[in-house]
């Protein structure tokens, strides 16, 4: 089992404390080739693809989902992969940057974790550890333990593909391909895709921001690769099994891979409500009474503890 080390190190855990590990592989090895034929390929222009991204982004302003959460940790750096038991979860999103995510232990359904973010500061409650973590959305002090670097925006940027910002981004289209299985011959073929390459304006000039890959079978995004400022792949997200939810198409399976930290999260959507009103208090997460406060922005030796009060956030869960 992968265990965080050091009593003073912030254990930012996505239900690690009580999820029993199983031997397994990262979700990438679980995927099968897309079943399609090159003859099914549709045509689209660069302007068409940009318009599709922007229209889809505009169609979803809030999200209230019940999900199953699968988590894998490890890879080449660790020398092994640990797969954790699936848990039930709830995800709330309100644009532009509000997110709430709750995970429940199997069987008893008590809370494994509760995480909330306003886009700048996030809070995380881990009741089994009696810990309450507070920090900035960006990782100030990287950890050797993968899930200690988990941040809400990693989930948010994968859940919802952002629109192309004409003021600060430039997007160009590239014709690409990916291995697929021909449904008639069952042979492997190269299925043509479109990749929208997005370059963004940064403080020190232009940089590669992300790539959005479209299936030419239905012209929907099936992959999004997000880069950091150094050009490394920060998030590799895949979208499968699109369904129509309240007149908007949304993937019912989302695979989120963070290769630098070596963790992967799979969200399987069980229930989804789009664009319903979400109140500010649904994103509030006070410190529970008696919980130890851990400030992630401070170096490990300077982290402090404090007590606080809390209120019941049960109304966050979908009905």
Between these two residues, 244 and 108, which has the higher pLDDT value?
244
The answer to whether 249 touches 220, Cβ cutoff 8 Å, is: yes
Range with the lowest mean pLDDT among 44-48, 71-75, 148-152, 206-210? 148-152
Closest CA to 115 of 96, 98, 138, 130: 98
Phi-psi region of 199 (alpha: psi -120 to 50; beta: other; left: phi over 0): beta
Domain locations along the chain: 21-32+41-316
The answer to whether 192 touches 169, Cβ cutoff 8 Å, is: no
Chain-centroid distance, C-alpha 61: 17
Structure token pair of residue 306:
């404090």
**pLDDT attached to residue 10:** 33
Q: Residue 31 pLDDT more than 80?
A: no
Chain-centroid distance, C-alpha 84: 17
For residue 96, say if its preceding peptide bond is cis, omega within 30 degrees of 0. Answer: yes
Q: Residue 145 pLDDT more than 70?
A: no
Per residue in 38-49, pLDDT tens? 667 899 999 999
Phi-psi region of 79 (alpha: psi -120 to 50; beta: other; left: phi over 0): left
Phi-psi region of 130 (alpha: psi -120 to 50; beta: other; left: phi over 0): left
Helix or strand or coil: residue 130? Answer: coil
Q: Which CATH architecture has domain 21-32+41-316?
A: Clam (2.50)
**pLDDT attached to residue 300:** 55
Task: Categorize the per-residue pLDDT at 181 as very low, low, confident or very high, splitting at 50, 70 and 90.
Answer: confident
Q: Which of 95-119 are b and which e, b meaning 16 or more Cβ less than 10 Å from the residue's Cβ?
A: eeebbbbbbbbeeeeebbbbbbbbe
Q: What does pLDDT average to over the chain?
A: 81
Q: Residue 107 pLDDT more than 50?
A: yes
Range with the lowest mean pLDDT among 80-84, 89-93, 150-154, 271-275? 80-84
Q: Residue 171 pLDDT more than 90?
A: yes
Task: Categorize the per-residue pLDDT at 302 as very low, low, confident or very high, splitting at 50, 70 and 90.
Answer: low
Task: Categorize the per-residue pLDDT at 153 as very low, low, confident or very high, splitting at 50, 70 and 90.
Answer: confident
């Amino acid at each position: 089992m992968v265990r965080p080390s050091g009593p003073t190190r912030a254990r930012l855990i996505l239900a690690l404390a009580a999820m029993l590990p199983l031997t397994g592989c990262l979700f990438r090895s679980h995927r099968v080739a897309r079943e399609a034929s090159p003859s099914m390929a549709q045509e689209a222009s660069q302007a068409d693809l940009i318009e599709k991204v922007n229209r889809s982004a505009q169609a979803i302003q809030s999200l209230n989902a019940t999900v199953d959460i699968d988590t894998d940790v490890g890879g080449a750096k660790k020398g092994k992969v640990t797969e954790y038991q699936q848990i039930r979860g709830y995800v709330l999103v309100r644009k532009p940057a509000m997110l709430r995510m709750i995970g429940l232990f199997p069987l008893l359904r008590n809370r494994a974790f509760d995480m909330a973010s306003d886009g700048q500061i996030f809070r995380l409650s881990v009741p089994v550890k009696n810990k309450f973590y507070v920090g900035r959305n960006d990782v100030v002090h990287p950890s050797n333990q993968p899930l200690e670097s988990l941040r809400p925006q990693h989930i948010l940027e994968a859940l919802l593909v952002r629109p192309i910002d004409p003021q600060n981004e430039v997007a160009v289209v590239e014709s690409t391909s990916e291995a697929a299985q021909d449904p008639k011959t069952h042979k492997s073929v190269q299925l043509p895709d479109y990749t929208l390459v997005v370059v963004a304006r940064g403080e020190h000039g232009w940089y590669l921001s992300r790539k959005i890959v479209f299936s030419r079978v239905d012209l929907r995004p099936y992959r999004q690769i997000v880069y950091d400022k150094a050009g490394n792949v920060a998030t590799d997200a895949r979208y499968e099994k699109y369904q129509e939810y309240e007149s908007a198409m949304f993937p019912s399976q989302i695979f989120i891979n963070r290769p630098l930290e070596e963790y992967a999260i799979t969200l399987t959507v069980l229930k989804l409500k789009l664009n319903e009103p979400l109140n500010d208090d649904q994103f509030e997460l006070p410190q529970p009474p008696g919980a130890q406060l851990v400030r992630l922005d401070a170096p490990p030796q300077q982290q402090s503890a404090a007590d606080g009060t809390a209120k019941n956030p049960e109304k966050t869960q979908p009905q």
